[in-house]
Chain A
Amino acid sequence: MSKKLKAVIIGPGNIGTDLLMKMKRSEWIEPVWMVGIDPESDGLTRAREMGIKTTADGVDGLLPHVLEDDIRVAFDATSAYVHAENSRKLNELGVIMIDLTPAAIGPFCVPPVNLVQHAKELEMNVNMVTCGGQATIPMVAAVSQVQPVEYGEIIATVSSKSAGPGTRKNIDEFTRTTASAVEKVGGAKKGKAIIIINPAEPPLLMRDTVHCLTEGEPDQAAITESVHAMVKEVQKYVPGYRLVNGPVFDGNRVSMFMEVEGLGDYLPKYSGNLDIMTAAGLRTAEMFAEETNSGNITLPARG
């Protein structure tokens, strides 16, 4: 029996397609279905051309096939509005939901910080926060693992071309969700998030700045070591994740300046913000598969 978990991607847009391309290379996850709502859409056509089963009838079109195709993991790349229903229907059939929307009905997941814990507890719905959160929360956590962080602030700058209509229409969701995850996952007592969209041509790579205000004098050596170790952890699934400058220390302020270059699968390399979401989502599913394979967790029973 193959150790790979079979998966469905809901939402055949940029994110879904990029995810599919990454998944094709995965040792742990096998893409089987792509779910859309428009039979004529480019995304479903692309998926079919890549040998993936498709339905244009939304999640309901997939439900009859979940058990016969042994679908174990779903990636939702649609919108916060439909996510809750998608998740409920699939969870009922024992499918683990990886939420790439800002719905955040399940716990936040930032792989190098808390994925192991979520996998061990077999969380049936995990939320991937936001692109800015994936790029910055590992840095906040790297500092808070050394000493308490009173305040964590992140500034994410993304190119205009990589900020989709969903992000633009609901920009408050980004700031709220990210700030909340800076606290809950990053470990800062208070979190703040800022997003800037920059239209420069050629498009700039995703840039992120992370400021932490530590309680007491920052332990410079330990924080520097922790930050570098964390960068390596993120690089395991996002090779283009780079610490450009820092950590810089100024009083109790610790600052890191990051750059995220994507792999350029379906989305251009400057879209590091989208790439880090798809890579983190896939990494999350892979961890569930690894834990299942090694017998640490048992997936919901199926007759």
Chain B
Amino acid sequence: MNLKDKKVILHDMSLRDGMHAKRHQISLDQMVAVATGLDEAGMPLIEVTHGDGLGGTSVNYGFPAHSDEEYLSAVIPKMKNAKVSALLLPGIGTVDHLRMAKDLGVSTIRVAAHCTEADVTEQHIGLAAKLEMDTVGFLMMAHMASPEKIVEQARLMESYGANCIYCTDSAGYMLPDEVTEKIGLLRAELNPNTEIGFHGHHNMGMAVANSLAAIDAGAIRIDGSVAGLGAGAGNTPLEVLVATLVRLEADHGIDLYKIMDVAEDLVVPMMDQPIRVDRDALTLGYAGVYSSFLLFAKRAEAKYGIQARDLLVELGRRGTVGGQEDMIEDLALTMAKEKGLI
């Protein structure tokens, strides 16, 4: 693999995807400390919101320690060079949230939809583009559709005004060949000015390898998370990815030691549990299930006595998609009834 001098724009997820692993309880001080550390390390983009994006605050996904407004207002004024992005899932957040984020100084909006349902993003991508924001279309659970389908959906987002399209491995299911194929086809088929991005999860231990494959196939934006803090077995651990990029002499702009220190000194001490490939996180990747289901399945196991692994495999079999956290307790109740546990 030759990535020498290849431009890579890294995007940190620890303060958004990491919210899943922290049950959305990251404090304002922690947010500011991590974001400031990342800014100093040269991270160009940092995502800040509830784990499920703007407006994610709910019984279904969890009530956060602070509102999106509070987090964004705390972090954005402290940034010297880094830009702050926000995630928005139509069906959960609305254009009102988007306008709020823009007013608070968010420069990149990432509008996310399941990889076959891009047409729900027209309102939001259209408005973000009109507001001249850096507008990203984020195709989630991309392992569930063919490369051709992903291209078709990406074209829709491009037509609404997105200037960057992500192939998102929300379940951490993909192996490098699949990443190469999907990113390669997106790069070949989309407008040459449209940037391509990849968002990985580490559930099969593949996040770093997949990210390198994505860069090699034409992706320029790569999501990761310092110390991997994120849903499931975490996102692509950025300090590890940066070390590989240093050795490959790619053009990434990050200070390796500084990002290592943010990971070790700030983020690891914040963790409620080790972010690792335990049997449940591995099951997410193996069965192709949305990574943020992990802690919900563990809680359902504790409450109803049904193994998280069994719940996750069944949720995968049923073709659940991102956002269907409510299925977990429902399924646990049904399985517990069948087993005579309740």
Contact = CB atoms under 8 A, between A and B. Distances in A.
Contact of B59 (A160, A198, A253): A253
A95 B329 CA distance: 46
Interface residues of A, number: 35
A209 B319 CA distance: 18
Contacts of B117: 160, 168, 197, 199
Contacts of A134: none
B122 A169 contact: yes
A194 interface: yes
A274 B128 CA distance: 31
B60 A211 contact: yes
B59 A213 contact: yes
Interface stretch (B76-84, B91-99, B254-262, B281-289): B91-99
A197 B324 CA distance: 9
Choose among A151, A192, A199 the residue with the greatest number of B CB atoms under 10 Å from its CB: A199
A204 B330 CA distance: 15
A235 interface: no
B340 to A, nearest CB: 15
A71 B315 CA distance: 50
Contacts of B204: none
A207 B318 CA distance: 13
Nearest to B322: A196
B109 to A, nearest CB: 15
B119 interface: yes
Contacts of B144: 199
Interface string A154-176: 01010010000100111110111
Given A153-B58, A176-B94, A194-B58, A169 B323 contact: no
Contacts of B323: 194, 196
Given A170-B123, A175-B91, 8 more contacts: A153-B58, A155-B60, A165-B119, A168-B119, A199-B117, A209-B60, A244-B334, A245-B334
6 contacts: A169-B119, A192-B58, A199-B114, A199-B116, A199-B319, A244-B334
Interface of A: 151, 153, 155, 157, 160, 165, 168-172, 174-176, 192, 194-201, 204, 207, 209, 211, 213, 244-246, 248, 253, 255, 257
